[in-house]
A and B are shown apart, each in its own frame.
Chain A
Amino acid sequence: MLHLLKVDLKKLFNYRTFWIICGLYFLTLGMATASGMEFLKWLANTFKDFGSKLNIDRIPLYHFPDVWQNLTWGSGLLKLMLAIMVIISITNEYQYRTIRQNIIDGMSREQFILSKVFTNLLLSISSMVLVFFVALFTGFIYSPEISFSYMFTGAEFCLSYFLELFAFLSFALMLGILIQRSGLSIVLLFSSYLIETIIKTNIDDYFPSIVPFFPLQSIMNLVPLPFAKYAFQEIQDYVSLTAVAIALGWTFLSTISPIYD
Protein backbone atom coordinates (compact mmCIF):
# COMPACT_ATOMS: atom_id res chain seq x y z
CA MET A 1 0.00 0.00 0.00
CA LEU A 2 2.76 2.41 0.98
CA HIS A 3 4.58 1.31 -2.14
CA LEU A 4 1.67 2.27 -4.41
CA LEU A 5 1.43 5.66 -2.70
CA LYS A 6 5.15 6.19 -3.26
CA VAL A 7 4.73 5.42 -6.97
CA ASP A 8 2.03 8.04 -7.41
CA LEU A 9 3.79 10.67 -5.28
CA LYS A 10 6.95 10.17 -7.35
CA LYS A 11 4.93 11.24 -10.40
CA LEU A 12 3.55 14.31 -8.60
CA PHE A 13 6.49 15.58 -6.56
CA ASN A 14 8.39 16.73 -9.63
CA TYR A 15 5.32 18.14 -11.34
CA ARG A 16 5.07 21.90 -11.12
CA THR A 17 1.30 22.06 -11.60
CA PHE A 18 0.90 19.82 -8.57
CA TRP A 19 2.89 22.16 -6.33
CA ILE A 20 1.09 25.23 -7.64
CA ILE A 21 -2.41 23.85 -7.10
CA CYS A 22 -1.66 22.10 -3.82
CA GLY A 23 0.37 25.03 -2.53
CA LEU A 24 -2.46 27.42 -3.31
CA TYR A 25 -4.97 25.03 -1.83
CA PHE A 26 -3.29 24.45 1.51
CA LEU A 27 -2.32 28.11 1.82
CA THR A 28 -5.87 29.23 1.15
CA LEU A 29 -7.23 26.55 3.43
CA GLY A 30 -5.02 27.57 6.34
CA MET A 31 -5.43 31.31 5.86
CA ALA A 32 -9.13 31.37 5.13
CA THR A 33 -10.10 29.16 8.04
CA ALA A 34 -7.94 31.07 10.50
CA SER A 35 -8.96 34.57 9.44
CA GLY A 36 -12.75 34.37 9.56
CA MET A 37 -12.96 36.74 12.50
CA GLU A 38 -10.70 39.27 10.83
CA PHE A 39 -12.94 39.01 7.79
CA LEU A 40 -16.03 39.76 9.83
CA LYS A 41 -14.29 42.76 11.41
CA TRP A 42 -13.32 44.01 7.99
CA LEU A 43 -16.93 43.65 6.82
CA ALA A 44 -18.13 45.58 9.85
CA ASN A 45 -15.66 48.38 9.23
CA THR A 46 -16.29 48.64 5.52
CA PHE A 47 -20.08 48.50 5.53
CA LYS A 48 -21.31 50.64 8.39
CA ASP A 49 -24.82 49.23 8.55
CA PHE A 50 -23.44 45.65 8.60
CA GLY A 51 -21.89 46.34 11.96
CA SER A 52 -24.97 48.06 13.37
CA LYS A 53 -27.37 45.30 12.35
CA LEU A 54 -25.13 42.58 13.66
CA ASN A 55 -22.85 42.60 16.62
CA ILE A 56 -19.99 40.54 15.30
CA ASP A 57 -18.69 39.77 18.73
CA ARG A 58 -21.94 37.98 19.34
CA ILE A 59 -21.27 35.57 16.45
CA PRO A 60 -19.53 32.61 18.05
CA LEU A 61 -17.79 31.67 14.79
CA TYR A 62 -14.73 30.33 16.58
CA HIS A 63 -16.20 29.40 19.91
CA PHE A 64 -16.07 25.85 21.13
CA PRO A 65 -17.98 23.79 20.17
CA ASP A 66 -19.38 25.72 17.15
CA VAL A 67 -15.93 26.08 15.63
CA TRP A 68 -15.81 22.45 14.45
CA GLN A 69 -18.85 22.56 12.23
CA ASN A 70 -18.24 26.13 11.10
CA LEU A 71 -14.69 25.53 9.95
CA THR A 72 -15.24 22.12 8.39
CA TRP A 73 -18.21 23.44 6.43
CA GLY A 74 -16.24 26.43 5.15
CA SER A 75 -13.21 24.29 4.31
CA GLY A 76 -15.39 21.93 2.31
CA LEU A 77 -15.93 24.67 -0.27
CA LEU A 78 -12.27 24.50 -1.30
CA LYS A 79 -12.36 20.82 -2.22
CA LEU A 80 -13.01 21.74 -5.85
CA MET A 81 -9.35 22.79 -6.14
CA LEU A 82 -8.14 19.37 -5.03
CA ALA A 83 -10.63 17.67 -7.33
CA ILE A 84 -9.21 19.57 -10.29
CA MET A 85 -5.72 18.43 -9.30
CA VAL A 86 -6.94 14.83 -9.09
CA ILE A 87 -8.51 15.08 -12.55
CA ILE A 88 -5.34 16.53 -14.05
CA SER A 89 -3.23 13.81 -12.44
CA ILE A 90 -5.34 10.94 -13.78
CA THR A 91 -6.12 12.35 -17.24
CA ASN A 92 -2.39 13.05 -17.77
CA GLU A 93 -1.85 9.31 -17.51
CA TYR A 94 -4.21 8.77 -20.42
CA GLN A 95 -2.98 11.72 -22.44
CA TYR A 96 0.67 10.67 -22.13
CA ARG A 97 -0.36 6.97 -22.33
CA THR A 98 1.76 6.38 -19.24
CA ILE A 99 -0.97 4.17 -17.72
CA ARG A 100 -0.21 1.73 -20.54
CA GLN A 101 3.50 1.81 -19.78
CA ASN A 102 2.88 1.43 -16.02
CA ILE A 103 0.95 -1.75 -16.79
CA ILE A 104 3.63 -2.99 -19.21
CA ASP A 105 6.18 -2.35 -16.45
CA GLY A 106 4.29 -4.68 -14.16
CA MET A 107 1.48 -2.85 -12.36
CA SER A 108 -2.00 -4.30 -12.49
CA ARG A 109 -4.90 -2.02 -13.36
CA GLU A 110 -6.17 -2.37 -9.79
CA GLN A 111 -2.82 -1.32 -8.38
CA PHE A 112 -2.65 1.65 -10.72
CA ILE A 113 -6.07 2.93 -9.63
CA LEU A 114 -5.33 2.18 -5.97
CA SER A 115 -2.16 4.27 -6.21
CA LYS A 116 -4.38 7.23 -7.15
CA VAL A 117 -6.87 6.39 -4.39
CA PHE A 118 -4.07 6.46 -1.81
CA THR A 119 -3.03 9.92 -2.95
CA ASN A 120 -6.66 10.99 -2.51
CA LEU A 121 -6.55 9.55 1.01
CA LEU A 122 -3.36 11.44 1.77
CA LEU A 123 -4.76 14.76 0.49
CA SER A 124 -7.98 14.27 2.47
CA ILE A 125 -6.16 13.32 5.67
CA SER A 126 -3.75 16.27 5.36
CA SER A 127 -6.65 18.67 4.90
CA MET A 128 -8.44 17.19 7.90
CA VAL A 129 -5.37 17.47 10.12
CA LEU A 130 -4.79 21.07 9.07
CA VAL A 131 -8.40 22.07 9.69
CA PHE A 132 -8.41 20.20 13.02
CA PHE A 133 -5.45 22.20 14.30
CA VAL A 134 -6.73 25.52 12.96
CA ALA A 135 -10.06 24.84 14.69
CA LEU A 136 -8.30 23.86 17.90
CA PHE A 137 -6.08 26.95 18.01
CA THR A 138 -8.70 29.46 16.94
CA GLY A 139 -11.08 27.88 19.43
CA PHE A 140 -8.54 28.50 22.18
CA ILE A 141 -7.99 32.08 21.04
CA TYR A 142 -11.57 33.21 20.54
CA SER A 143 -13.62 31.17 23.02
CA PRO A 144 -14.54 33.32 26.02
CA GLU A 145 -14.14 30.38 28.35
CA ILE A 146 -12.64 26.95 27.79
CA SER A 147 -14.13 23.87 29.28
CA PHE A 148 -12.90 20.42 28.47
CA SER A 149 -16.37 19.07 28.98
CA TYR A 150 -17.69 20.51 25.73
CA MET A 151 -14.54 21.55 23.88
CA PHE A 152 -14.48 18.49 21.63
CA THR A 153 -18.21 18.24 21.20
CA GLY A 154 -18.67 18.30 17.44
CA ALA A 155 -15.03 17.49 16.68
CA GLU A 156 -16.38 14.44 14.85
CA PHE A 157 -17.20 16.90 12.07
CA CYS A 158 -13.50 16.66 11.22
CA LEU A 159 -14.02 13.01 10.36
CA SER A 160 -17.07 13.66 8.26
CA TYR A 161 -15.18 16.52 6.58
CA PHE A 162 -12.48 13.99 5.75
CA LEU A 163 -15.10 11.69 4.25
CA GLU A 164 -16.60 14.62 2.34
CA LEU A 165 -13.22 15.26 0.70
CA PHE A 166 -12.41 11.64 0.06
CA ALA A 167 -15.83 10.88 -1.41
CA PHE A 168 -15.64 13.92 -3.67
CA LEU A 169 -12.09 13.15 -4.83
CA SER A 170 -13.15 9.55 -5.55
CA PHE A 171 -15.96 10.94 -7.68
CA ALA A 172 -13.51 13.21 -9.52
CA LEU A 173 -11.11 10.31 -10.03
CA MET A 174 -13.88 8.19 -11.50
CA LEU A 175 -14.87 10.99 -13.90
CA GLY A 176 -11.25 11.33 -14.99
CA ILE A 177 -10.89 7.60 -15.61
CA LEU A 178 -14.14 7.36 -17.55
CA ILE A 179 -13.63 10.50 -19.66
CA GLN A 180 -9.81 10.53 -19.92
CA ARG A 181 -9.65 14.20 -20.96
CA SER A 182 -8.95 16.88 -18.41
CA GLY A 183 -11.05 19.75 -19.81
CA LEU A 184 -14.14 17.69 -20.38
CA SER A 185 -13.84 15.97 -16.99
CA ILE A 186 -13.57 19.30 -15.16
CA VAL A 187 -16.55 20.71 -17.05
CA LEU A 188 -18.53 17.61 -16.19
CA LEU A 189 -17.48 17.84 -12.56
CA PHE A 190 -18.93 21.36 -12.38
CA SER A 191 -22.05 20.56 -14.33
CA SER A 192 -22.75 17.43 -12.30
CA TYR A 193 -23.95 19.77 -9.52
CA LEU A 194 -26.30 21.40 -11.99
CA ILE A 195 -27.51 18.10 -13.39
CA GLU A 196 -28.10 16.68 -9.95
CA THR A 197 -29.97 19.80 -8.85
CA ILE A 198 -32.24 19.63 -11.88
CA ILE A 199 -33.05 15.99 -11.23
CA LYS A 200 -33.55 16.62 -7.52
CA THR A 201 -35.96 19.52 -7.96
CA ASN A 202 -38.00 17.53 -10.44
CA ILE A 203 -38.15 14.52 -8.20
CA ASP A 204 -38.59 16.36 -4.93
CA ASP A 205 -42.39 16.60 -5.17
CA TYR A 206 -42.89 12.91 -5.79
CA PHE A 207 -40.14 11.05 -3.92
CA PRO A 208 -38.56 13.45 -1.42
CA SER A 209 -37.20 10.48 0.51
CA ILE A 210 -34.67 9.55 -2.15
CA VAL A 211 -33.09 13.00 -2.41
CA PRO A 212 -30.45 12.26 0.28
CA PHE A 213 -29.30 9.32 -1.79
CA PHE A 214 -27.97 11.44 -4.66
CA PRO A 215 -24.16 11.30 -4.74
CA LEU A 216 -23.34 14.99 -4.44
CA GLN A 217 -26.24 15.56 -2.05
CA SER A 218 -24.93 12.77 0.17
CA ILE A 219 -21.52 14.46 0.21
CA MET A 220 -23.11 17.82 1.12
CA ASN A 221 -25.08 16.20 3.93
CA LEU A 222 -21.90 15.12 5.70
CA VAL A 223 -21.24 18.59 7.10
CA PRO A 224 -24.55 20.51 7.00
CA LEU A 225 -24.59 24.30 6.70
CA PRO A 226 -24.24 25.63 10.27
CA PHE A 227 -24.68 29.39 9.94
CA ALA A 228 -28.47 29.42 9.76
CA LYS A 229 -28.54 28.89 13.48
CA TYR A 230 -27.18 32.40 14.02
CA ALA A 231 -30.45 33.56 12.50
CA PHE A 232 -32.24 31.41 15.04
CA GLN A 233 -33.12 28.62 12.64
CA GLU A 234 -33.10 24.94 13.33
CA ILE A 235 -29.99 23.19 11.98
CA GLN A 236 -28.54 19.73 12.07
CA ASP A 237 -25.60 20.09 14.43
CA TYR A 238 -24.56 16.45 14.51
CA VAL A 239 -23.07 14.02 12.03
CA SER A 240 -25.83 11.97 10.46
CA LEU A 241 -24.82 8.34 10.29
CA THR A 242 -27.25 7.81 7.42
CA ALA A 243 -25.39 10.46 5.42
CA VAL A 244 -22.07 8.80 6.26
CA ALA A 245 -23.37 5.40 5.13
CA ILE A 246 -24.70 6.77 1.84
CA ALA A 247 -21.50 8.71 1.11
CA LEU A 248 -19.39 5.64 1.91
CA GLY A 249 -21.54 3.64 -0.50
CA TRP A 250 -20.92 6.12 -3.32
CA THR A 251 -17.20 6.29 -2.53
CA PHE A 252 -17.00 2.52 -2.73
CA LEU A 253 -18.88 2.47 -6.03
CA SER A 254 -16.79 5.19 -7.64
CA THR A 255 -13.57 3.40 -6.65
CA ILE A 256 -14.69 -0.06 -7.71
CA SER A 257 -16.46 0.80 -10.97
CA PRO A 258 -13.37 1.93 -12.92
CA ILE A 259 -11.42 -1.12 -11.75
CA TYR A 260 -13.97 -3.54 -13.16
CA ASP A 261 -15.42 -1.55 -16.02
Chain B
Amino acid sequence: METVLSISQLTKTFGRITAVNKLDLEVKRGQVFGFLGPNGSGKTTTLGMLMGVVNPTAGNFSWFGKPVTHGTRKKIGAVLEHPIFYPYLSGQKNLELTALIKGAPHHHIAHVLEAVELTSRKDDKYKTYSLGMKQRLAIASALLNDPIVLILDEPTNGLDPMGIAEIRNIIKKIAADGKTIILASHLLDEVQKVCSHFAVLRRGTLMHCGAVDDVGKGEEIVEVAAYHDDLALVLQEFSGTLSQKKENSNYLIRLKEGFNSQDLNRFLFDKGIIAAHLLTQKKSLEKQFLEILEEPDHAIKK
Protein backbone atom coordinates (compact mmCIF):
# COMPACT_ATOMS: atom_id res chain seq x y z
CA MET B 1 0.00 0.00 0.00
CA GLU B 2 1.07 3.53 -0.78
CA THR B 3 2.87 5.33 2.02
CA VAL B 4 1.30 8.68 2.85
CA LEU B 5 3.51 9.72 5.73
CA SER B 6 6.91 8.47 6.73
CA ILE B 7 8.64 9.75 9.87
CA SER B 8 12.19 8.91 10.80
CA GLN B 9 14.00 9.68 14.04
CA LEU B 10 11.92 12.82 14.54
CA THR B 11 12.91 14.66 17.71
CA LYS B 12 11.86 17.90 19.41
CA THR B 13 13.29 19.29 22.60
CA PHE B 14 12.07 22.35 24.49
CA GLY B 15 14.98 23.23 26.75
CA ARG B 16 15.36 20.23 29.01
CA ILE B 17 12.06 18.64 27.99
CA THR B 18 12.17 16.09 25.19
CA ALA B 19 8.67 16.42 23.80
CA VAL B 20 9.23 13.95 20.95
CA ASN B 21 11.99 11.37 21.09
CA LYS B 22 13.40 9.69 17.93
CA LEU B 23 10.01 8.88 16.52
CA ASP B 24 9.71 6.42 13.62
CA LEU B 25 6.30 5.95 12.05
CA GLU B 26 4.59 5.14 8.78
CA VAL B 27 1.02 5.83 7.75
CA LYS B 28 -0.39 4.13 4.64
CA ARG B 29 -3.13 5.36 2.37
CA GLY B 30 -6.63 4.59 3.60
CA GLN B 31 -5.66 4.00 7.21
CA VAL B 32 -7.50 5.66 10.03
CA PHE B 33 -4.50 6.07 12.22
CA GLY B 34 -4.91 6.70 15.94
CA PHE B 35 -2.20 8.59 17.71
CA LEU B 36 -2.75 7.67 21.32
CA GLY B 37 -1.05 9.02 24.39
CA PRO B 38 -1.79 10.76 27.67
CA ASN B 39 -1.79 14.56 27.83
CA GLY B 40 1.67 16.00 27.31
CA SER B 41 3.02 12.91 25.55
CA GLY B 42 4.00 14.88 22.44
CA LYS B 43 1.12 14.29 20.03
CA THR B 44 0.44 17.92 19.19
CA THR B 45 4.16 18.69 18.99
CA THR B 46 4.60 15.86 16.46
CA LEU B 47 1.67 17.06 14.36
CA GLY B 48 3.01 20.65 14.62
CA MET B 49 6.30 19.51 13.10
CA LEU B 50 4.47 17.63 10.36
CA MET B 51 2.51 20.81 9.54
CA GLY B 52 5.43 23.22 9.52
CA VAL B 53 4.59 25.23 12.64
CA VAL B 54 7.15 23.59 14.96
CA ASN B 55 10.78 23.27 13.88
CA PRO B 56 12.14 19.75 14.45
CA THR B 57 15.30 19.50 16.57
CA ALA B 58 16.42 16.44 14.62
CA GLY B 59 15.13 13.78 12.26
CA ASN B 60 12.94 14.14 9.22
CA PHE B 61 9.68 13.15 7.61
CA SER B 62 8.16 13.08 4.18
CA TRP B 63 4.62 13.40 2.93
CA PHE B 64 3.61 11.33 -0.10
CA GLY B 65 7.19 10.16 -0.51
CA LYS B 66 8.44 13.62 -1.47
CA PRO B 67 10.39 16.35 0.30
CA VAL B 68 8.10 18.84 2.03
CA THR B 69 7.25 22.31 0.74
CA HIS B 70 4.51 24.64 1.93
CA GLY B 71 2.50 23.50 -1.11
CA THR B 72 2.46 19.99 0.34
CA ARG B 73 0.33 21.25 3.20
CA LYS B 74 -2.42 22.32 0.80
CA LYS B 75 -3.06 18.63 0.14
CA ILE B 76 -3.49 17.98 3.88
CA GLY B 77 -6.39 19.16 5.98
CA ALA B 78 -5.36 19.74 9.58
CA VAL B 79 -6.76 21.06 12.82
CA LEU B 80 -4.22 21.16 15.65
CA GLU B 81 -5.27 21.42 19.27
CA HIS B 82 -8.09 23.98 18.95
CA PRO B 83 -10.12 25.29 16.05
CA ILE B 84 -8.56 28.58 14.92
CA PHE B 85 -10.59 31.12 12.95
CA TYR B 86 -11.12 34.86 12.64
CA PRO B 87 -13.71 35.53 15.36
CA TYR B 88 -15.21 38.55 13.59
CA LEU B 89 -15.83 36.67 10.33
CA SER B 90 -18.79 34.39 9.69
CA GLY B 91 -18.28 30.66 9.21
CA GLN B 92 -18.84 31.16 5.48
CA LYS B 93 -16.29 33.99 5.21
CA ASN B 94 -13.75 32.03 7.23
CA LEU B 95 -14.11 29.12 4.84
CA GLU B 96 -13.85 31.45 1.83
CA LEU B 97 -10.54 32.63 3.23
CA THR B 98 -9.25 29.10 3.78
CA ALA B 99 -10.38 28.16 0.28
CA LEU B 100 -8.46 31.14 -1.10
CA ILE B 101 -5.30 30.11 0.77
CA LYS B 102 -5.59 26.46 -0.25
CA GLY B 103 -6.70 27.14 -3.79
CA ALA B 104 -9.87 25.13 -3.24
CA PRO B 105 -12.80 25.63 -5.60
CA HIS B 106 -15.49 27.93 -4.25
CA HIS B 107 -18.32 25.42 -4.66
CA HIS B 108 -16.67 23.09 -2.13
CA ILE B 109 -17.66 25.49 0.65
CA ALA B 110 -21.37 24.71 0.52
CA HIS B 111 -20.53 21.04 0.27
CA VAL B 112 -18.33 20.87 3.40
CA LEU B 113 -20.75 23.05 5.38
CA GLU B 114 -23.42 20.52 4.53
CA ALA B 115 -21.16 17.62 5.55
CA VAL B 116 -20.77 19.03 9.08
CA GLU B 117 -24.35 20.31 9.27
CA LEU B 118 -23.51 23.97 9.67
CA THR B 119 -25.32 25.33 6.62
CA SER B 120 -28.03 27.02 8.66
CA ARG B 121 -25.50 28.91 10.81
CA LYS B 122 -22.98 29.75 8.12
CA ASP B 123 -23.64 33.49 8.11
CA ASP B 124 -23.29 33.92 11.88
CA LYS B 125 -20.04 35.23 13.24
CA TYR B 126 -17.58 32.56 14.35
CA LYS B 127 -17.36 34.02 17.85
CA THR B 128 -21.04 33.22 18.42
CA TYR B 129 -20.52 29.48 17.76
CA SER B 130 -20.63 26.82 20.45
CA LEU B 131 -17.53 24.69 20.97
CA GLY B 132 -19.10 21.81 19.05
CA MET B 133 -19.88 24.09 16.11
CA LYS B 134 -16.32 25.43 16.18
CA GLN B 135 -14.95 21.90 16.05
CA ARG B 136 -17.28 21.08 13.18
CA LEU B 137 -16.29 24.21 11.27
CA ALA B 138 -12.66 23.19 11.76
CA ILE B 139 -13.35 19.80 10.23
CA ALA B 140 -15.21 21.49 7.36
CA SER B 141 -12.24 23.77 6.79
CA ALA B 142 -9.85 20.82 6.81
CA LEU B 143 -11.99 19.06 4.21
CA LEU B 144 -12.17 22.07 1.87
CA ASN B 145 -9.49 21.10 -0.59
CA ASP B 146 -10.60 17.47 -0.76
CA PRO B 147 -7.36 16.56 1.03
CA ILE B 148 -5.59 13.22 0.71
CA VAL B 149 -5.00 13.20 4.47
CA LEU B 150 -7.04 14.63 7.29
CA ILE B 151 -5.32 15.38 10.61
CA LEU B 152 -7.50 15.82 13.68
CA ASP B 153 -6.06 16.61 17.08
CA GLU B 154 -8.40 15.81 19.99
CA PRO B 155 -11.47 16.71 17.93
CA THR B 156 -13.91 15.85 20.71
CA ASN B 157 -12.06 17.58 23.53
CA GLY B 158 -14.41 19.50 25.79
CA LEU B 159 -17.61 18.43 24.03
CA ASP B 160 -20.75 17.05 25.62
CA PRO B 161 -21.76 13.43 24.82
CA MET B 162 -24.00 14.53 21.98
CA GLY B 163 -21.29 16.69 20.45
CA ILE B 164 -18.85 13.80 20.78
CA ALA B 165 -21.24 11.43 19.02
CA GLU B 166 -21.78 13.97 16.21
CA ILE B 167 -18.06 14.42 15.62
CA ARG B 168 -17.41 10.69 15.68
CA ASN B 169 -20.15 10.09 13.14
CA ILE B 170 -18.63 12.72 10.88
CA ILE B 171 -15.20 11.10 11.21
CA LYS B 172 -16.61 7.65 10.45
CA LYS B 173 -18.41 9.02 7.40
CA ILE B 174 -15.21 10.60 6.12
CA ALA B 175 -13.26 7.40 6.80
CA ALA B 176 -15.86 5.40 4.88
CA ASP B 177 -15.04 7.55 1.83
CA GLY B 178 -11.57 6.02 1.93
CA LYS B 179 -9.74 9.08 3.18
CA THR B 180 -6.58 8.67 5.23
CA ILE B 181 -7.11 10.09 8.72
CA ILE B 182 -4.64 10.73 11.50
CA LEU B 183 -6.45 11.15 14.79
CA ALA B 184 -4.58 12.23 17.91
CA SER B 185 -6.38 11.49 21.12
CA HIS B 186 -5.84 10.68 24.75
CA LEU B 187 -9.11 8.74 24.75
CA LEU B 188 -8.68 5.03 24.15
CA ASP B 189 -12.29 4.48 23.56
CA GLU B 190 -12.24 7.05 20.75
CA VAL B 191 -9.30 5.39 18.99
CA GLN B 192 -10.89 1.98 19.44
CA LYS B 193 -14.16 3.18 17.98
CA VAL B 194 -12.92 4.92 14.86
CA CYS B 195 -9.37 3.79 14.04
CA SER B 196 -7.97 0.93 12.00
CA HIS B 197 -4.39 1.38 13.21
CA PHE B 198 -2.81 3.06 16.17
CA ALA B 199 0.43 4.10 17.80
CA VAL B 200 0.96 4.73 21.48
CA LEU B 201 3.19 7.52 22.65
CA ARG B 202 4.50 8.03 26.15
CA ARG B 203 6.64 11.01 27.10
CA GLY B 204 7.59 11.48 23.46
CA THR B 205 8.61 7.86 22.92
CA LEU B 206 6.79 5.40 20.68
CA MET B 207 5.63 2.46 22.81
CA HIS B 208 3.55 0.47 20.35
CA CYS B 209 2.36 0.55 16.78
CA GLY B 210 -0.08 -1.83 15.11
CA ALA B 211 -3.57 -2.58 13.87
CA VAL B 212 -6.52 -2.15 16.22
CA ASP B 213 -7.88 -5.54 15.13
CA ASP B 214 -4.64 -7.24 16.21
CA VAL B 215 -5.15 -6.05 19.73
CA GLY B 216 -5.66 -9.02 22.01
CA LYS B 217 -5.01 -11.58 19.27
CA GLY B 218 -4.30 -15.05 20.67
CA GLU B 219 -5.52 -13.90 24.03
CA GLU B 220 -9.14 -14.97 23.91
CA ILE B 221 -10.76 -15.51 27.27
CA VAL B 222 -14.13 -17.25 27.55
CA GLU B 223 -16.50 -16.92 30.45
CA VAL B 224 -18.49 -20.12 31.05
CA ALA B 225 -21.16 -21.21 33.49
CA ALA B 226 -23.17 -24.44 33.50
CA TYR B 227 -25.22 -26.44 35.97
CA HIS B 228 -22.72 -29.23 36.45
CA ASP B 229 -20.89 -30.25 39.60
CA ASP B 230 -17.54 -31.11 38.12
CA LEU B 231 -17.39 -28.35 35.57
CA ALA B 232 -13.91 -27.36 36.67
CA LEU B 233 -12.58 -30.81 35.98
CA VAL B 234 -14.32 -31.08 32.63
CA LEU B 235 -12.97 -27.74 31.53
CA GLN B 236 -9.48 -28.86 32.49
CA GLU B 237 -9.86 -31.76 30.07
CA PHE B 238 -10.54 -29.46 27.12
CA SER B 239 -7.44 -29.45 24.94
CA GLY B 240 -7.77 -25.73 24.19
CA THR B 241 -7.52 -24.61 27.80
CA LEU B 242 -4.41 -22.67 28.66
CA SER B 243 -5.47 -21.76 32.17
CA GLN B 244 -8.66 -21.39 34.12
CA LYS B 245 -9.88 -19.32 36.98
CA LYS B 246 -13.10 -19.13 38.94
CA GLU B 247 -14.74 -15.76 39.21
CA ASN B 248 -18.04 -15.67 41.10
CA SER B 249 -20.12 -18.45 39.55
CA ASN B 250 -18.29 -18.28 36.21
CA TYR B 251 -15.12 -19.90 35.00
CA LEU B 252 -12.68 -17.79 33.00
CA ILE B 253 -10.90 -19.94 30.47
CA ARG B 254 -7.86 -18.54 28.73
CA LEU B 255 -7.71 -20.30 25.35
CA LYS B 256 -4.66 -21.50 23.47
CA GLU B 257 -4.08 -20.00 20.04
CA GLY B 258 -6.21 -21.59 17.37
CA PHE B 259 -9.11 -22.29 19.70
CA ASN B 260 -12.24 -20.25 20.11
CA SER B 261 -15.48 -20.25 22.06
CA GLN B 262 -17.23 -22.43 19.48
CA ASP B 263 -14.71 -25.23 20.05
CA LEU B 264 -15.31 -25.04 23.76
CA ASN B 265 -19.05 -25.03 23.35
CA ARG B 266 -18.95 -28.08 21.09
CA PHE B 267 -16.68 -29.88 23.56
CA LEU B 268 -19.07 -29.26 26.43
CA PHE B 269 -22.05 -30.32 24.35
CA ASP B 270 -20.32 -33.57 23.41
CA LYS B 271 -19.82 -34.18 27.12
CA GLY B 272 -23.55 -33.70 27.64
CA ILE B 273 -23.16 -30.34 29.31
CA ILE B 274 -25.18 -27.36 28.17
CA ALA B 275 -23.60 -24.01 28.85
CA ALA B 276 -25.89 -21.60 30.62
CA HIS B 277 -23.55 -18.72 29.99
CA LEU B 278 -20.88 -18.32 27.33
CA LEU B 279 -19.13 -15.02 26.69
CA THR B 280 -15.99 -14.18 24.73
CA GLN B 281 -13.83 -11.47 26.22
CA LYS B 282 -11.36 -9.84 23.89
CA LYS B 283 -8.58 -8.19 25.72
CA SER B 284 -9.59 -4.55 25.56
CA LEU B 285 -7.42 -1.87 24.07
CA GLU B 286 -7.67 -0.15 27.40
CA LYS B 287 -5.97 -3.03 29.22
CA GLN B 288 -3.30 -3.22 26.57
CA PHE B 289 -2.83 0.53 26.61
CA LEU B 290 -2.38 0.54 30.35
CA GLU B 291 0.06 -2.35 30.10
CA ILE B 292 2.03 -0.55 27.42
CA LEU B 293 2.22 2.56 29.51
CA GLU B 294 3.37 0.56 32.53
CA GLU B 295 6.28 -0.93 30.63
CA PRO B 296 9.68 0.42 31.61
CA ASP B 297 11.17 3.12 29.42
CA HIS B 298 13.62 0.93 27.53
CA ALA B 299 11.02 -1.57 26.34
CA ILE B 300 10.15 0.07 23.05
CA LYS B 301 8.08 -2.25 20.88
CA LYS B 302 7.74 -1.93 17.15
Contact = CB atoms under 8 A, between A and B. Distances in A.
A98 B86 contact: yes
A104 B96 contact: no
B100 A104 contact: no
Nearest to B84: A101
Interface in A93-115: 96-98, 100-108, 111
A48 interface: no
B60 interface: no
Interface string A1-42: 001001100110011100000000000000000000000000
B259 interface: no
Interface in B80-99: 80, 84-90, 93, 96-98
Contacts of B85: 96, 98, 101
Contacts of B84: 96-98, 100-101
Contacts of B101: 7, 102, 105-107
Contact-size category for B: 20 to 34
A7 B70 contact: no
A106 B88 contact: no
Contacts of A16: 88
A98 B138 CA distance: 13
B100 A6 contact: yes
Contacts of A92: 86
Interface in B42-78: 51-53, 70-71, 73-74, 78
A105 B88 contact: no
B73 A104 contact: yes
B96 A111 contact: no
Contacts, number: 63
A260 to B, nearest CB: 14
A104 B97 contact: no
B5 to A, nearest CB: 15
Contacts of B93: 10, 14
B102 interface: yes
B128 to A, nearest CB: 15
A105 B85 CA distance: 12
A210 B84 CA distance: 46
Contact of A104 (B52, B89, B90, B103): B52
A106 B74 contact: yes
A103 B89 contact: no
A52 to B, nearest CB: 54
Contact of B86 (A11, A105, A111): A11
Contacts of A15: 86, 88-89
Nearest to B50: A104
Contacts of A106: 70-71, 73-74, 101-103
Nearest to B103: A106
A65 to B, nearest CB: 44
Given A104-B52, A108-B70, 7 more contacts: A7-B101, A11-B86, A98-B86, A100-B80, A106-B70, A106-B101, A107-B70
Interface pairs A-B: 6 shortest CB-CB: A106-B74, A108-B70, A101-B84, A106-B73, A105-B101, A104-B51
